[in-house]
Amino acid sequence: MKKALKYSFLIIITIIFLFPIVYMLACSFMGKAQISSLLDFSNGTYKDLDLIPDRFSLNQYYQVFFRRPEYLLKFWNSIIITVPTVICQVVVSALAAFAFAKLKFPFRDKLFFIYIILLILPLQVTIVPDYIILDNLGLLNNFLAVILPGTFSAFGICLMRQSMKYISDSSIEAARIDGASYFKVFLRIILPQIKGGLITLTLLCFIDNWNMVEQPLIYFDDKAMYPLSITMADVSSGDLGIVFACGVMFMIPALLIYLYGHRDIDSPFVNTDK
């Protein structure tokens, strides 16, 4: 009985979490008339709930890929913003975490404590000083205005340091005695043992920047530079069927990253028993 109750509870929770995705997929294949009959976002209410299209239609996807190029352009804006930010953040976080976890230098712990404080601060607190700095650097209305602040994320450094601190110092000392440089130690000893942490950081960083809304709205004056996340958030100004189709397209990259690394994500930290 206890096992049955546990699995029943987990199934209910799973259905609740999967329902928005299933509903989005179903609506992306419905006709415009059926979607209008289901949703009325003028007052934020649902007229009806239906997961089965009356008439299966690919018109939304046809519009997105062939007739409405602005959606694909905004999708590529999301790629331009997200991919360099993810790559730079993973590289910088891994190198900085190696220094904080395995190297000894003056004020190391105090400097890391400052990073912890930055991690606690919400985005809304730091976005104004970031705007002032970017304005003085002449980077506003530039993709670098979003990429550079995301590169030096305190969260990534803290996560990677947590992954590295369980690695035995004896292996590093042995490599140093054999004449290996710190950079070679990082490449040959550290990186192979933190694959799970790297994939976890990649996925979390990707999702964080892929869903970005506030920074582009503040840093970009040109609406042509907006990512697809902003366009999808403004459902009142467009065709809801196209929004659902864009939502499916928007979900695929993050899903592919998760499917590629989900086994390593299950154990992101080093197993000390090995």
List, for residues 147-173, the tens digit of each pLDDT value: 998 888 888 888 898 888 888 888 888
Q: Are residues 177 and 228 in the same domain?
A: yes
Let me know whether 131 and 49 are in one domain.
Answer: no
Residues 146 and 212 in one domain: yes
With CA atoms as reference, report the closest residue to 159 among 90, 207, 102, 113.
90
* Pairwise CA distance, residues 151 & 204, whole Å: 13
What's phi and psi for 45, nearest 5 deg?
Answer: -120, 160
Distance CA 143, CA 226 (A): 10
Distance, in Å, from the CA atom of 173 to the CA atom of 117, rounded to the nearest integer, reads 31
Q: Look at residues 160, 170, 171 and name the one whose alpha carbon lies nearest to residue 270.
A: 160
One domain, residues 177 and 133? yes
Whether 11 is in a domain gets the answer yes
Taking the C-alpha atoms of residue 84 and residue 86, their distance in angstroms, rounded to an integer, is 5
Q: Are residues 51 and 164 in the same domain?
A: no
End-to-end CA distance of the chain: give it in Å, rounded: 37
Q: Are residues 146 and 168 in the same domain?
A: yes
Q: What is the pLDDT of residues 169-179, one digit of tens each?
A: 888 888 888 88
Burial of 130 (0-12, 13-18, 19+ CB in 10 A): middle
Average pLDDT score over residue span 49-62: 81
Query: What's the CATH number where 165 sits?
Result: 1.10.3720.10
Rounded Cα–Cα distance for residues 268 and 274 (Å)? 14
Same domain, 104 and 231: yes
Task: Evaluate whether residue 272 is within a structural domain.
Answer: no
Domain that residue 89 falls in: 66-265
46 bridge partner residues: 39
Shared domain check, 95 and 12? no
Residue 270 · residue 166 · CB < 8 Å? yes
| Count of Cβ atoms closer than 10 Å to residue 150 Cβ | 20
Q: Is 175 among the domain residues?
A: yes
Are residue 93 and residue 18 in the same domain, yes or no? Answer: no
Please say which residue of 19, 36, 57 terminates a domain: 57
The answer to the question of residue 217 being in a domain is yes
pLDDT at 45: 60
Whether residue 159 contacts residue 93, with contact meaning beta carbons closer than 8 Å, is answered with yes
How many domains is the chain partitioned into structurally?
Answer: 2
Query: Which residues is 39 bridged to in the sheet?
Result: 46
Same domain membership, residue 107 and residue 220: yes
Q: Are 199 and 246 in contact (CB under 8 A)?
A: no
* pLDDT of 147: 92
**Based on the domain organization, do 48 and 180 belong to the same domain?**
no
Residue 273: inside a domain, yes or no? no
**What digits encode the pLDDT tens for the residues 4-45?**
999 999 999 999 999 988 888 888 888 777 777 777 656 656
183-212 tens-digit pLDDT: 888 888 898 888 888 888 998 899 889 988
Flag whether 154 is in a domain. Answer: yes
Helices (H), 103-168: 108-120, 123-137, 144-151, 154-164
Residue 274 lies in a domain: no
Is 129 domain-assigned? Answer: yes
Please tell me whether residues 41 and 141 are part of one structural domain.
Answer: no
